[in-house]
Homo-oligomer: A and B are copies of this chain.
Amino acid sequence: MDNRRPYSGVIDILKQAGLRPTSQRLALARLLFEGADRHITAEMLHAEATAANIRVSVATVYNALHQFRRAGLLREIVVDSQRAYFDTNLARHHHFYREDTGALEDIRGDAVEIAQVPAAPKGTRVQQVDVVIRLAPDDLT
């Protein structure tokens, strides 16, 4: 990474997405996009920002997450019918989901092969194919 202009990468990402690089968007984008890929909820991101001394409201966190998703910078993962997870990994891939702990783990795209997918019904197009492998603890006493 270019440390002489530490924010430039994220600034460009935002600009190309047509989003003004405001200070909170910038800070959130850095948390999300610098470093390894991650799975995150709005609440987690807000807590991280707060912990990093970034003053940002929950409303803004939600706004930013949705804007980033619309811009294709994030993908939403639906595994829990109560909270939304976002994934910074945009490569084709799938997920293991542990219902008991809420932990999400990536499955490389080429590790799952989907054959014979039926055609989308008339008037629709396939937006995304999600595969979730739900896991339970394997307590064989």
A interface residues (Cβ-Cβ under 8 A, vs B):
76, 78-85, 96, 98-99, 105, 107, 111-118, 120-121, 123-138
Contact = CB atoms under 8 A, between A and B. Distances in A.
Q: Top 8 A-B pairs ranked by shortest CB distance? A: A113-B115, A124-B135, A81-B84, A125-B138, A127-B136, A127-B134, A128-B134, A130-B132
Nearest to A77: B81
Contact of A136 (B82, B99, B125, B131): B125
Nearest to A95: B130
Contact of A117 (B124, B126, B133, B137): B133
B114 A131 contact: yes
B127 A117 contact: no
Contact of A123 (B78, B85, B116, B138): B138
